[in-house]
Amino acid sequence: MRTIEWRDGTVVTLDQTKLPHETVFLKLKSVLEVAEAIKTMKIRGAPLLGAAAAFALALVAYNSEAKEKRELINELVKAGEILKRTRPTAVNLFWAIDRILNSARSFSEEDQDMAVFVVEEAQKIADEDAAANRLIGKYGAELLHDGDVILTHCNAGALATVDYGTALGVIRAAWEQGKKIKVIATETRPKLQGARLTVYELKRDGIPVTLVTDNMVGYIMYKGLVNRVMVGADIIVRDAVINKIGTYTIAVLAKEHDVPFYVAAPKSTFDLAQVSANVVIEERRPEEVTYIGSERITLPGVNVLNPAFDITPLECVTAIICENGVLQRKDFVEFKANL
């Protein structure tokens, strides 16, 4: 099954907060239910957020009693506003909402039923993501070779996308080609997407994985225990890649130790009209830091900083892999100019 699917007027997806111990499927029936699932990170990962937002708008259209196009557009705009308030950083969410709204606005009433049209557009967004990840896997796998040990951070796998994954899609594709590779996964405090989700995905596929805590990366690089880094992105702007908190630390270490640092992301994650200074970095609840699971690990009332993402300047990035191919840093300048 894909990570998210449209099934007879419901959105079916996994509750990622329950993994890896329990497999719980959610059947979401309204935009509010999808928004809540996004806020609480039952649904997470940039491309998946885009697909979820698109399907949430499909739910609005599917259940709407609007008689006219204008009425339905108003409902979609309101729902889009609710969804845009869930998480601020991953651009795929905003991209998917705007794409659905723009195509709904250009819909001609003679063509077909508008609800059907919106559902189909959401399905297209999901299908395109799955296809993009296969291409990212194909192009990215050329960068990986027998004996490589690849460090990845957070979860940029099938669970973070509609299917297959971006960074893990590349690793998966190389593994499927028979390349003898190994992965080091960082646990990714505070939400532990690496320990919970990346390890789960790789183990399920039989790909060798070793789990480390985030603060072990310096030691690992110093000792030469890793020779590639492969991560995803929440938004790629003109000057930087924004991804899970801790990515920048890994990128600086990789640069210092001459380890290639690759970013794998579909074009829906690019916003090249934007610069990093204008990107809103999500700040999450202090309890994510002061607790591990249900156990409080520090004194009550301590000041806490909990940004969910950080900013990696392009100077630290060796190449970006998207569905068009591999963009080396110098090609990226040209790619930007042509967009």
What residue ranges bind ligand MRU (CB under 6 A)?
44-47, 90, 154, 156, 160-161, 166, 193, 232-234, 243-244, 308
Closest distance to ligand MRU from the beta carbon of 177 (Å): 21
Closest distance to ligand MRU from the beta carbon of 308 (Å): 5
Give the number of other Cβ atoms within 10 Å of residue 196's Cβ.
Answer: 19
Closest distance to ligand MRU from the beta carbon of 187 (Å): 13
Residue with nearest beta carbon to ligand MRU: 232
- List Cα–Cα distances, 292 to 43, 112, 282, 306, in angstroms: 20, 51, 20, 14
Task: Report residue 309 as tokens.
Answer: 């993402």
DSSP code of residue 307: B
313 SS3 class = strand
Q: Which is nearer to ligand MRU, 80 or 266 (CB)?
A: 266
Token pair 């997806």 is found at 13
Q: Which is nearer to ligand MRU, 46 or 150 (CB)?
A: 46
Closest distance to ligand MRU from the beta carbon of 255 (Å): 19
Known catalytic residue: 8? no
Degrees to nearest 5, angle at CA 190 with 23 and 48: 50
Q: How far apart are CA 75 and CA 105, in angstroms?
A: 12
Give the number of other Cβ atoms within 10 Å of residue 85's Cβ.
Answer: 11
Q: Which is nearer to ligand MRU, 114 or 253 (CB)?
A: 253
Closest distance to ligand MRU from the beta carbon of 254 (Å): 16
Task: Report residue 199 as tokens.
Answer: 């390890």
User: Do 143 and 150 contact (CB within 8 A), yes or no?
Assistant: no
Half-sphere exposure (CA, 13 Å, Cβ side) for 315? 4
Closest distance to ligand MRU from the beta carbon of 263 (Å): 9
Token pair 């509010």 is found at 32
235: Cβ contacts below 8 Å, ≥ 6 apart: 46, 89, 90, 91, 242, 269, 270, 271, 274, 279
Q: Which is nearer to ligand MRU, 193 or 318 (CB)?
A: 193
Nearest to 232 by CA among 202, 204, 205, 198: 198
Q: Which is nearer to ligand MRU, 80 or 232 (CB)?
A: 232
Q: How far apart are CA 38 and CA 14, in angstroms?
A: 12
Q: Which is nearer to ligand MRU, 114 or 311 (CB)?
A: 311
Q: How far apart are CA 81 and CA 29, in angstroms?
A: 18
Give the number of other Cβ atoms within 10 Å of residue 123's Cβ.
Answer: 16
Closest distance to ligand MRU from the beta carbon of 222 (Å): 24
Strands 228-231 and 149-152: parallel
Q: Which is nearer to ligand MRU, 11 or 154 (CB)?
A: 154
H or E element that contains 184: strand 182-186
Nearest to 262 by CA among 148, 134, 163, 178: 148
**Which of the residues 129, 148, 163, 234 is marked catalytic?**
234
Catalytic residues: 234
